[in-house]
Structure formats: structure tokens, C-alpha cells
């Protein structure tokens, strides 16, 4: 099922309505890596734009391609240090290269409704199940019943298939199949944060759409959350029936109450 994102989450950078970037591009993991490697964590949106359009850190051949690349990356990730979900992504990004594909996927799902619409066609599948662009296009058509353009739906199917491959949920070029995606403590911290920003609390944070994306059972997620807590990405305390999870590092200056 496609997750319902509360309207209050829009203030943190979630995109609730619209078609989304996957009608024209994938989640652009390679470009995001180049951009964040070239820019310091304090970079603002205007400086990200200059890095892409003027300094050509993405190594694009034409000015129009650079301009489009900035627009799509901004749509997918925000590129704004004042946006909660991007600021958290940026903080977690350098910690482990292997976690970056999952971090990017989680952020892209939060920002792109069309990619989010394809999640029910991927996440519930057992390992080894085929994942076709047609299957993803059908999922998009169900989410957008008013969209009659077959070419647009086909593009979403192809682009989403590529993105789910980039994130590690799918393998293969022509014949794609479902596999368990790699999961790391930083990915768990980010998924729990996204759930928190959508209103989940306490134990409920381990049972959201965002943790479903991680492809791990709850006991494993709890173990990885413990590791993430030791690394300082969140504060996780579990005693009996009481679970407290706070995000003082990833949500600075919010004066959070304990989440029980």
C-alpha cells in the first residue's frame, strides 16, 4: 500500500502530491554522489546550483543538461540545508558509502510521489521474484487513475526500475529480480527519523513504510538502531514496555520530548 503522508510533513520537505521526477528521470544516485562529494555540508541551495551549472561538477556536456540536472536533483532531494529531511541526509551521507544508495532511496521516496507509487510493486515481493517495468507502470497507473498517457506511465516504470536497482532492492539489467537490499545503522537512523517526522512514535517507529523499505525484520532493525545510537545518530532506549527514540543530532534545536 502507498503510504499516507500527513500534511504536516510537508514542512520538513516531504512532497505529498504531484506526479514526481520519475516521469522523466531516475533517482540519479551517481549525480548525487558527485555533487555531495564536491560540496561541503554547509552548502546552500544557490551554491549547489552554481556547482552544477557553473562549475559542472556533474560533468555534463551541455548547459541545458546541467540546468535540468539541478532541477531534478532539487526535486528529488531538496538540496536545502534548512529542509529537515535533506539536512539529515547530508549529515548521514559521509559516514558509510555502502549506506548511500538506501539513504538516497529513502529521501527520493519522501520527495517523489511517482516513485512512492511503485513501492507496492516491489517491497512485498519475495527474493527472486521478477520486477518488470510493466509491473511498475501498472502500479503508477493505479496511483494516478487520471493519467492516460501510456508514454508517461512507461517512463515511470523504466525509471523506477532503474532506481530500485540503484538502491539495491533489485538486480539485473534486462531481467530484473527482487533481492534483499543492504541495510546499515545509518539507514535505520534515517528511516526512523522519516517515520518520526510523519508522526510515528516509540515502538511504532519500527513499523512504518520507511522501515519497510529497509528489508529487515523488526528485531534486526532494533539491533541496528542500538548501533546507530552508539554512533550518536539517535538516542535509543528500550526498557520493558517503554521505548524512547529521540533525534537530537539529526533534529537540532527542536527541543524534542521523549517518544514513548
Same domain, 145 and 40: yes
Spatial distance between the Cα atoms of 158 and 164, rounded to a whole number of angstroms: 10
Same domain, 74 and 159: yes
CA-CA-CA-CA dihedral for 78, 13, 134, 149, to nearest 10 = -90
Percent share of the chain, pLDDT over 90 = 87
Tens-digit pLDDT profile for residues 226-246: 999 999 999 999 887 788 999
- For residue 260, is pLDDT > 90? no
Bridge-based pairing state of the strands 177-178 and 170-171: antiparallel
Tens-digit pLDDT profile for residues 200-214: 999 999 999 999 999
Q: DSSP for 109-129? A: HHH-HHHHHTGGGTTTPPTT-
Look up the domain containing 191 and give its range: 185-246
Same domain, 153 and 240: no
Binned at pLDDT 50, 70 and 90, residue 253 comes out as low
Tens-digit pLDDT profile for residues 106-126: 999 999 999 999 999 999 999
Percent share of the chain, pLDDT over 70 = 97
| pLDDT for the residue 259 | 37
Same domain, 58 and 169: yes
Q: What is the CATH number of the domain that holds 101?
A: 1.10.3540
- For residue 138, is pLDDT > 50? yes
Same domain, 45 and 139: yes
| pLDDT for the residue 149 | 82
| pLDDT for the residue 254 | 56
Show which of 152, 178, 204 is a domain's final residue: 178
Q: Span 174-185, mean pLDDT?
A: 96
Same domain, 227 and 161: no
Same domain, 139 and 39: yes
Q: Span 69-96, mean pLDDT?
A: 97
Same domain, 135 and 24: yes
Average pLDDT of every residue of the chain? 94
Alpha helices in 39-184 (DSSP H): 45-53, 63-77, 84-92, 100-111, 113-117, 133-143, 150-166
| pLDDT for the residue 241 | 79
- The C-alpha cell that represents 202 in the structure block: 516509540
| pLDDT for the residue 132 | 97
How many residues does the structure list for the chain? 260
Tens-digit pLDDT profile for residues 7-32: 999 999 999 999 899 999 999 999 99
Show which of 178, 201, 219 is a domain's final residue: 178
- The C-alpha cell that represents 10 in the structure block: 510537508
Show which of 158, 178, 198 is a domain's final residue: 178
Instruction: State the total domains in the chain.
Output: 2
Examine residue 254 and state whether it is found in any structural domain, yes or no: no
Phi-psi region of 125 (alpha: psi -120 to 50; beta: other; left: phi over 0): beta
Nearest to 73, CA basis, from 110, 114, 26: 26
- Structural contact between residues 75 and 112, judged by C-beta atoms closer than 8 angstroms: yes
Same domain, 141 and 22: yes
Same domain, 189 and 160: no
Same domain, 190 and 167: no
Same domain, 11 and 50: yes
Amino acid at each position: 500500500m502507498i503510504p499516507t503522508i500527513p500534511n504536516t510533513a510537508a514542512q520538513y520537505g516531504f512532497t505529498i502530491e504531484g506526479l514526481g521526477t520519475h516521469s522523466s528521470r531516475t533517482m540519479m544516485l551517481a549525480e548525487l554522489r558527485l555533487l555531495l562529494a564536491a560540496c561541503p555540508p554547509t552548502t546552500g541551495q544557490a551554491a549547489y546550483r552554481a556547482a552544477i551549472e557553473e562549475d559542472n561538477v556533474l560533468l555534463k556536456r551541455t548547459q541545458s543538461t546541467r540546468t535540468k540536472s539541478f532541477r531534478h536533483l532539487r526535486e528529488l532531494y531538496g538540496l536545502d540545508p534548512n529542509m529537515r529531511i535533506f539536512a539529515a541526509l547530508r549529515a548521514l551521507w559521509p559516514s558509510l558509502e555502502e549506506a548511500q544508495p538506501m539513504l538516497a532511496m529513502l529521501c527520493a521516496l519522501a520527495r517523489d510521489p511517482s516513485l512512492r507509487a511503485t513501492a507496492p510493486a516491489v517491497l512485498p515481493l519475495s527474493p527472486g521474484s521478477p520486477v518488470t517495468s510493466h509491473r511498475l507502470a501498472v502500479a503508477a497507473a493505479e496511483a494516478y487513475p487520471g493519467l492516460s498517457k501510456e508514454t508517461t506511465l512507461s517512463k515511470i516504470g523504466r525509471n523506477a526500475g532503474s532506481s530500485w536497482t540503484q538502491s539495491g532492492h533489485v538486480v539485473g539489467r534486462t531481467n530484473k529480480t527482487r533481492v534483499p537490499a543492504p541495510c546499515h545503522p545509518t539507514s535505520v537512523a534515517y528511516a526512523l527519523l522519516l517515520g518520526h517526522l510523519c508522526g510515528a512514535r516509540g515502538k511504532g517507529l519500527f513499523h512504518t513504510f520507511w522501515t519497510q523499505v529497509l528489508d529487515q525484520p523488526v528485531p534486526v532493525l532494533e539491533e541496528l538502531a542500538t548501533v546507530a545510537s552508539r554512533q550518536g545518530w539517535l538516542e535509543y532506549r528500550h526498557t520493558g514496555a517503554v521505548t524512547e527514540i529521540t533525534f537530537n543530532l539529526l533534529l537540532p534545536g527542536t527541543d524534542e520530548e521523549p517518544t514513548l
